[in-house]
Amino acid sequence: MTAPVSDSRPLYLDAINAQRAALPGQTVPAIRTLREEGQARFAELGFPTARLEDWKYTNVSAIAGQLFKPVNGALATVSSEQLHSHLFADLPAHRLVFVNGRHAPALSSVGKLPAGVIVGSLAEILATRPNIVEPHLGKIAPTGTNGFTALNAALFADGACVHLARGAVAEQPIYIVYVSTGDTDSVMTTPRNLVVLEESAQATVIEQYLALDDARYLTNVVTEAALGANSRLEQYRLQQESTKSYHIGTWYVRQARDSRFISHTVDLGGLLARNDLHDILGAEGAECEFNGLYVVDGRSHVDNHTCVDHAKPRGTSREYYKGVLDGMARAVFNGRVVVHPDAQQTDAQQMNNNLLLSRNAEVDTKPQLEIYADDVKCSHGATVGQLDTDALFYLRSRAVDEQTARDLLTYAFANDVLSRMKLAAIRLPLEQRLTTRLLRGRSLNELELI
C-alpha cells in the first residue's frame, strides 16, 4: 500500500504526465483540449474537502491522502468462468466487459447490432470513428465540477461508447460490466462512458460495477448521456464493488424535447460510494424518473447526490430514493431540484425514505428545492424512521414472529424500489440478493407467507 501523504495532488499530476502519451485520442483536437483542461482543473481544485457544501457529509481524505495509481495496461486476466457467476445470466444483451477499466474483447459479446446502433470501446471508436465521439465527449459533463471529474477527463483510458442514430431502437439492453481485480498497490480506474441517442432512438443501458475479490481500489467513472428529441433511455447502475473499495460516479444527462430518461441506481457494496446524477431538462416536455436503493452495512458510506435542472417549460421529474442501513453504515442523500425562470408548468416530485436498523448507523438527508418560476408543482419529502408499528402488529397478530415480521417489512420497504425496474432479468436476481441480505438467507417461499 502506498504511504499516506498530506497533499497527493503532485503525485497525481506526475501520474498524468507519465501516462499522457499512452492515452487514447491524442490525434483528436477536442480530446486533447479536454485532457489539458482536466489536468489544469485538477491542479487547481484538488480533491474535494468537507468544507465544500457538496461534500459536507462525505469525507474523501482517504482517497486524497494517497496515490491510487492509474491502471496502465491490463493488470490481470479474468476468465469467463470467474466472471460468469457475477453476471446477470438470463439477460440477453449486447455485452461489453472492462477489466480494470480496459476493454476485454474476449469476455465481451456484443453480438449483432440493429441498424443505426453502435456499441463499442471508447478507445477503439476514438481511433476509428472519432467524429461520433468528438461532438459530445466533455460537452455534457463539465470538467471542473470537482477534482474527480477533472481527474477523469485528464486520465480516462477507455469506457463504453453507445450511439443510436435517429429512430434506431436497441431491442436488447446494452450491458456494460466493469470488473476490478485489484492489485498489490491501490489502483485507480477512470472509465468514461458516452451514450448518445439521436431523435426518437430507444435504448436500455446497464452499468454494473463489481469486484472479483476484496481488493482496495478506486473507481472514478464519468458517464455522459445526450438524449435527442423524443428519445428514450432507461439506465441501470448497479454498484457491487468490494467492501474495501471507493467508487466515485458522476453522471451527466442532457435531455432534448419530449425525451424520457429513467434511471435505476442500486448501491450494495463499496466502502465509500458517491453517485452524482445531474440531469438537465434542456427542452420542453422532457421527463425523467430516478429510482435509487442503497442497502449498506458494516462501515460502508454511500452518498447519492442528484440534481434535476428544469431549464425549460413543462418538464416532469420524479425521484424515489430509499435506503436501509445497518452496522456502522452511513448514508447521505442530497436531492436538488432547480426550476429556472422559464420553466413554467414544471412538475417535480422527490422522496427519500430511510430505515435505520442499528444504533451506529447514520443518515444525513438534504432535499433541496430552488424555484424561480411560479406556475409549478414541486414537492419533496424525506423521512428517517423505523418500521410502522401498525404493520408490525398486523404481522404479529397473524402469528409471525417479531424478527421475521421486521425482516419482511424491511424487505418490502426496499423492494419497493426494485419493483419499478422493467427488466425482470435484472430485477429478480437483485430481489434474490435482497432476500439474502434482509431475510437472513430465507426466501419468501420458505417463510410460507406467499
Partner 1 sequence: MASSKQNIEALIKRDYQAGFVTDVEQESLPPGLNEDVVRALSAKKNEPAFMLAWRLQAYRHWLTMTEPKWAHVRYAPVDYQAISYYSAPKSKKDAPKSLDEVDPKLLETYEKLGIPLKERELLAGVAVDAVFDSVSVATTFKDKLAAMGIIFCSFSEAVHNHPELVQKYLGTVVPYTDNFFATLNSAVFSDGSFVYVPKGVRCPMELSTYFRINASKTGQFERTLIIADEGATVSYLEGCTAPMRDENQLHAAVVELVALKGATIKYSTVQNWYPGDVEGRGGIYNFVTKRGACRGDSAKISWTQVETGSAITWKYPSVLLEGDNSVGEFYSVALANNRQQADTGTKMIHIGKNTRSTIVSKGISAGRGQNAYRGLVKVLKGAENARNYTQCDSLLMGDKCGAHTFPYIEVKNPTAKVEHEATTSRIGDDQLFYLQQRGLSAEDAVSMIVNGFCKEVFKELPMEFAVEAQKLLGVSLEGAVG
416 binds partner 1 (CB under 8 A): no
80 binds partner 1 (CB under 8 A): no
359 binds partner 1 (CB under 8 A): yes
x/- letters, 50..79, toward partner 1 (CB under 8 A): ---x---x----------------------
User: Looking at 378, 391, 392, 400, which residue binds partner 1 (CB under 8 A)?
Assistant: 378
Which range in 25-33, 278-286, 294-302, 350-358 contacts partner 1 by CB under 8 A?
A: 350-358
How many residues belong to the site for partner 1 (CB under 8 A)? 35
105 binds partner 1 (CB under 8 A): no
- CA pseudo-torsion sign 50, 51, 52, 57: positive
Q: Name the minimum Å distance from CB 380 to partner 1.
A: 5
Nearer to partner 1, 254 or 340 (CB): 340
357 binds partner 1 (CB under 8 A): yes
Which range in 117-125, 289-297, 370-378, 399-407 contacts partner 1 by CB under 8 A?
A: 370-378
Whose cell is 438470463? That residue is 90
Nearest to 47 by CA among 189, 220, 289: 220
> Could you tell me which residues come within 8 angstroms of residue 439 by beta carbon, excluding any fewer than 6 positions away?
407, 408, 411, 447
243: alpha, beta or left? (left if phi > 0; alpha if psi -120 to 50): alpha
Which range in 40-48, 80-88, 144-152, 349-357 contacts partner 1 by CB under 8 A?
A: 349-357
Please name the amino acid found at residue 376. Answer: V
371 binds partner 1 (CB under 8 A): yes
CA distance 121 to 125: 6
Residue by residue, DSSP assigns 108-157 as: -B--PPPTTEEEEEHHHHHHH-HHHHTTTTTTSS-TTSSHHHHHHHHH--
Q: Name the minimum Å distance from CB 340 to partner 1.
A: 10
User: Looking at 9, 299, 366, 442, which residue binds partner 1 (CB under 8 A)?
Assistant: 366
CA distances from 443 to 242, 423, 424, 436 (A): 25, 21, 18, 7
> Hey, which residues between 143 and 182 contact partner 1 (CB under 8 A)?
none
Nearest to 350 by CA among 324, 317, 323: 317
Which range in 221-229, 257-265, 287-295, 373-381 contacts partner 1 by CB under 8 A?
A: 373-381
User: Looking at 363, 417, 426, 430, which residue binds partner 1 (CB under 8 A)?
Assistant: 363
- The terminus-to-terminus CA distance of the chain in angstroms comes to 49
User: Looking at 364, 391, 425, 428, which residue binds partner 1 (CB under 8 A)?
Assistant: 364
CB 133 within 8 A of CB 161: yes
User: Looking at 344, 416, 425, 439, which residue binds partner 1 (CB under 8 A)?
Assistant: 344
User: Looking at 124, 297, 362, 416, which residue binds partner 1 (CB under 8 A)?
Assistant: 362
C-alpha cell at 116: 443505426
Which range in 25-33, 192-200, 270-278, 375-383 contacts partner 1 by CB under 8 A?
A: 375-383
Q: Name the minimum Å distance from CB 352 to partner 1.
A: 9
365 binds partner 1 (CB under 8 A): yes
CA distance 337 to 358: 31
**Other C-beta atoms within 10 Å of 395: how many?**
18
CA distance 236 to 263: 6
Q: How many Cα atoms are found within 13 Å in the side-chain-facing hemisphere of 402? A: 1
Which range in 89-97, 286-294, 360-368, 435-443 contacts partner 1 by CB under 8 A?
A: 360-368
380 binds partner 1 (CB under 8 A): yes
> Hey, which residues between 382 and 411 contact partner 1 (CB under 8 A)?
382-386
User: Looking at 61, 109, 341, 449, which residue binds partner 1 (CB under 8 A)?
Assistant: 341
Helical segments of 268-385, H only: none
User: Looking at 7, 213, 375, 401, which residue binds partner 1 (CB under 8 A)?
Assistant: 375
Q: Name the minimum Å distance from CB 378 to partner 1.
A: 4
Q: Name the minimum Å distance from CB 325 to partner 1.
A: 9
CA distances from 445 to 199, 229, 412, 439 (A): 45, 45, 14, 11
Q: How many Cα atoms are found within 13 Å in the side-chain-facing hemisphere of 228? A: 16
Which range in 84-92, 134-142, 311-319, 371-379 contacts partner 1 by CB under 8 A?
A: 371-379
Q: Which residues of the chain form contacts with partner 1 (CB under 8 A)?
A: 53, 57, 341, 344, 354, 356-359, 361-386
